[in-house]
Structure 1
Amino acid sequence: MTRQGQGGLILLVAISAFGAIGCNPNAREIQTLKLHKQALQRENTKLAAQLKDALDEQDTLLRELEDKDAELAQAAEQWQDAEDRAKAAEAIAAGIGGAPTGPTADGWTATPAGDKITVGSNILFSPGRAKLTDAGKRALNGIARDLTVTYSGRPVRVYGFTDGDPIRKTKKLWQDNLDLSANRAMAVTRHLIGQGVDTERLETIAMGPARPVASNSSAAGKARNRRVEIYAIR
């Protein structure tokens, strides 16, 4: 074979090899997968940024909710203080000066507004719930007897209180602490009615985290603040 013929053969083999590589379907598939991977990485980066923005917004909303809860608690406390002052003024004007009258039932405390009994929410309810426990029902049965015997005829006021922690775990059930305290106070009121206390005597008030009796900085303090207070009004 001549040199010219050999050169042509080598060139033909090189072209054939190049064509085999360029037309290899596996190479095209690998390139496609690489491009797809890069697109997914870009999308993942974009979604991660969106998630971070959403979490930042959630934190901002939670802080705003806590501020609103505090404002609401302060407003409720101011309202209650104003009502107490008005009732005290009425008592003074009537010449009774808020002095205790009649016997005080066991477990109750005499106050200027009337005799009061406090029941912890840990007895009345499961955490984050407004359905009475069996122990809570038994405690309220005794209170209902006091209201129908010792305090017969007196107006009755039921206050629901919570601690200062914002609602988180049961957010699907309650809008905020005021909502939870309202449902708990109403559950107590309904049970008292079921035990024979006249509906016309009862008033139900939700206080949320207002008027704490202990600091919300400790678990023990929070437990004391989660409560229901029942007054037999003078």
Structure 2
Amino acid sequence: MRTPLCLTAIAAVGSVLVLTGCGGRDLGYKDVELAELRRVNAELEAKLAQKDTERVVEVVRQAPSTATDVDTAQKAVGDKASVSTRPSELVISVESNVLFKPGSADLSTDAKSVLNRVAALVKQKYPNHFVRVEGHTDDEKISRSKDKWDDNWDLSGGRARGVLHYLNKQGIATKDLGYAGYADQRPLAPNANDSARAKNRRVEIVVIPK
């Protein structure tokens, strides 16, 4: 008995063309699903960013005249970041375990919420400032993610760059952004135990007057 030839048809589903082949398999179905998931995810991220922005605007608006810049910024960005100052600089520090998975530079959901607030704070209160994103690691050598990063210099720079791109996406101008990776060369504490190493793995967002 001769095997029947497989015919390929093009079927329109809504406004999306889906290719079907032998056995009725929809060759484009997964692409349609993926596109829809991306659309929904983008909408959710936009709503989250708007909510975070509104929160920061309200914090800045209601800040008493006696409040310091550190007090206002800390309340604006929330308890997953810490705010301090250097001479003429405001420093917003976020530990890497809030921002990334181990060995990764992909931002977590928590990271995006914190960075939404940082971006809103800069735009609301520091519009004429430069923002430098600084990446820091502990002193442990790269091992499990060696296929992604050559060393801690590479990892710290990659993480800082990822944060920079997200802040840019949230409306901080390209000309007002820069980044640096310092590897393990600027620890906050000696890398003597896991707690100290976790503290040293961080990204610092430094707000500097022009």
Q: What is the TM-score when the length of structure 2 is the normalising length?
A: 0.61
State the AA in 2 paired with 1:141. Answer: N
Q: CA deviation at 1:214?
A: 1.2
1:106 corresponding residue in structure 2: 73
State the AA in 2 paired with 1:155. Answer: F
Runs of 4+ aligned residues of structure 1 deviating over 4 Å after TM superposition are none
Q: Which of the two has greater strand per residue? A: 2
State the AA in 2 paired with 1:140. Answer: L
1:184 corresponding residue in structure 2: 159
Within 5 A, what are the aligned runs for 1:36-185?
Answer: 103-104=69-70, 105-107=72-74, 108-185=83-160
1:60 corresponding residue in structure 2: none
Q: CA deviation at 1:152?
A: 0.8
The 3-state SS of whatever aligns with 2:107 is coil
Against the structure 1 CA distance between its residues 216 and 146, is the aligned structure 2 distance closer, same or farther, given a 3 Å change threshold?
same
1:35 corresponding residue in structure 2: none
Asked whether the 8 Å contact 1:103–1:150 carries over to 2, the reply is no
State the AA in 2 paired with 1:220. Answer: S
The 3-state SS of whatever aligns with 1:106 is helix
Q: Which of the two has greater helix per residue? A: 1
Q: Which runs of 5+ in 2 are unaligned?
A: 1-67, 75-82
Tell me the distance in 2 between the aligned counterparts of 1:209 and 1:103: 29
Residues 139-173 of structure 1, C-alpha deviation per residue, up to 9 Å, x if partnerless? Answer: 10000001111111101111000000010111111
Q: CA deviation at 1:113?
A: 3.8
1:38 corresponding residue in structure 2: none
1:210 corresponding residue in structure 2: 185
State the AA in 1 paired with 2:73. Answer: D
Asked if 1:194 corresponds to 2:169, the answer is yes
Asked whether the 8 Å contact 1:116–1:232 carries over to 2, the reply is yes
The 3-state SS of whatever aligns with 1:127 is coil
Asked if 1:225 corresponds to 2:200, the answer is yes
RMSD of equivalent CA atoms: 1.3
